[in-house]
Amino acid sequence: SGMLIYPSGELEANSLLIADGLVTMLSSGSNARVDVATLGIGNTGVLTARDAGTKYVDVSSAIANDGAIRSTNGALLRITPGQTATLDLDGASEQGAIEADGGNIWIMGGTIADAFSGRLLISSGRHVDVLPTWTIDGDVELEGVQAPAELRSSVHSRVVFKDATVTATGNVRVTAPSRFTQNADVSVTAGSVLTLGGTNANVESTWSNFTGPGSVVLAGDLSINNFGSTSFLIDSLDLDGPQEDVVTTIANGSILSISSTTNLEKHDSRIQLDGGRLVVDGTNSWIENGVLALNDGGRVDGSRTLIMQGALRVTGAGNSIDSPTMLGSSTTVDLGSGSTNTVNLRGSTDYSGGTYEGAGTLRQSGPAVVSGSTTIGAITSYRVIAPNVYQPRHVRVFDWDGLSETDASMRIEPGKTLVINADQIDTEAPSVDGYDGVLTIDRGTLIVNTGARTPIPIPGGGTPGQITGASASPTSWRLDGTIDLQGTSGQVATVATQLGSPVVIYGSLNATSGPALVQTHATLTGPLGSVRVKSGATLTMTSLNASAGDVFVDAGGQLTASTFRLASGARLEVDGAAQIAKATFSGGETGGAGEITLTGMVDVVATSTLGGNVRIATGSELDVSGGGTLFAAGRVTIDSGVPVSGGGGLSIGVDGELVLSDGLSIELPVANTGLLRLGEASSTVDV
């Protein structure tokens, strides 16, 4: 029924079988010892170490445990197998138990025969330390209620939880290098904390589930691999541990899922998605304050908003962030030195500042808002990454509408500025593709600086990190979609450039309210291209070349242009008011119920139809080139003091009216099939 081995007592045998009952090793200052070649424990047998002190079990050949190995009442049971010893810790029945129930157990070597399918119990304040790598597919009960319960091993071995059922209660630690696989189920009870890994003790997972109302803390590096899926459906998850230095790596085809109910701590370390996927669901946000590295198809997904405050580093193609994202003022987006490096922002994105650079592509496929002034790239500079190797501090491509194209949308909030420093704003050539979405500038500013840059070499090649300047060749950018400019009194909606990059409008540029400013050269082209100034809006343009399309000024709207060119196939329709300092008519036509006032040089270089109400104001000069004709289809007024010259002519249509003011000298032929009128009751005009 039992055997006691007292302090200083020693049991030596070739083979010891505890078929039934207890063999209890006692200690009180001196140590008890069992020294056998083989140790067998039957289904109802128990080897127990009791009381403070170390009890030694030396086994040179084999252990077969169908019963229980137990340490209690403060004892340390130290099992030292021989170098070639085989350990069957759950026996032939696969129901053997290891119980650190009030004491500690060390297994110092040997080879584990097969997976442990029995019961492992570690009670409060106790630990089990198994040096050889072993696999557990049974039940693990970790009960650290008053003090931590801990499962340990050598950093050169590992505990594999294979289809195991783990229950963590209280303060529980698995400081051994570990692997969770084949649907290992880990349950963390309410108020409990499970800490995994440690220094040089990494955690791997393929298929596993962590559930319960408790918390999990990663104190060692975590890797999800072998196309596995690991999920955390728990109350709280700390991915970077107490030292904030834990690296989480998700391999190609693998998934780490964090549930909507899990409180995810602010992350200050590194998450690396090597083609893997991180899914974070929920309504509240999570903060990345460390490094998020997306490599070769890495993907962040889920309904929870990602707040980037650290570094987003991109290598390779196919990377994406599908979740809602906020890019904060301290964010660094590094697209690296490879031209194929790409990250696709497929969810909604809030730009609130940050630093963006690299030779890759930043693709904006989801809806976006600029809530804080943001500069995408530096305008003209490069960073030395190795002697004579330079990485652009602008971005190669800011794919503004991404894969959404016509469904893309962006909003620039009041008082905020978005600066785009990129070679181009779409992945295709700027001549054939551009921004296809809808951009609303609500009392904010858009500055676009497109064009190739070339680094200025540093003598000697430079040192890594050194910044050098660049020469730039500005190129145009194409608007295929819509820009809506919304201003209010004292707050102007603005489109501008610093580098001299013009905009080519194939879509629509609309001033919808208040003051608006386009401070770059604009070309209107394509049959569907349009510029519209709506009622209550005032649009000021530096330069507009309308080679095709329509310019509309609604009643109550006003257009002011420093330079305006109207070509054949284009139309200026003014129901409000337009004022143009320098106008060139090379075809095209005007119309509308409002007034067009020309205040500077007016060149007519081809037959051009002026309908509506056009006034060539005092201080202007009208030159109609040879082969050109100013055809008055509406009311055209030439004010006093305007020189009228050139090799062309004036023609008044059947419904047209040419009003000549006092003192004019018309040095052109005039063909009149409509109405030629003197502007004042007492006028003298020489024709």
Q: Quote the distance between the C-alpha of residue 438 and its chain's center.
A: 21
Q: What pLDDT score was predicted for residue 61?
A: 97
Report, as an integer, the average pLDDT of 540-552: 98
Q: What pLDDT score was predicted for residue 24?
A: 85
> For all residues of the chain together, what is the average pLDDT?
95
Retrieve residue 518's tokens.
């386009």
CA pair distance 143, 532, nearest whole angstrom: 72
Report, as an integer, the average pLDDT of 123-139: 97
- The more confidently predicted of residues 45 and 155 is 45
Alpha-carbon dihedral sign for residues 501, 502, 507, 512: positive
The number of CA neighbours under 13 Å toward the Cβ of 248 is 31
Q: What pLDDT score was predicted for residue 1?
A: 59
Give the confidence band of 325 by pLDDT, cuts at 50, 70, 90.
Answer: very high
pLDDT > 70: percent of the chain: 99
Query: Which of 49, 42, 51, 50 has its CA nearest to residue 21?
Result: 42
> Is 30 a residue whose pLDDT tops 90?
no
Retrieve residue 89's tokens.
């810790």
Query: Which of 305, 312, 337, 318 has its CA nearest to residue 277?
Result: 318
Give per-residue pLDDT as tens, 60-91.
Answer: 999 999 999 999 999 999 999 999 999 999 99
Q: What pLDDT score was predicted for residue 248?
A: 96
Domain ranges of the chain: 1-114, 525-678
CB 65 within 8 A of CB 90: yes
Give per-residue pLDDT as tens, 245-278.
Answer: 899 999 999 999 999 888 888 899 999 999 999 9
Report, as an integer, the average pLDDT of 663-667: 91
Report phi then psi at 368, rounded to 5: -135, 155
Binning the chain into helix, strand and coil, the percentages to the nearest 5 are 0, 60, 40
Give per-residue pLDDT as tens, 352-411.
Answer: 999 999 999 999 999 999 999 999 999 999 999 999 999 999 999 999 999 888 889 999
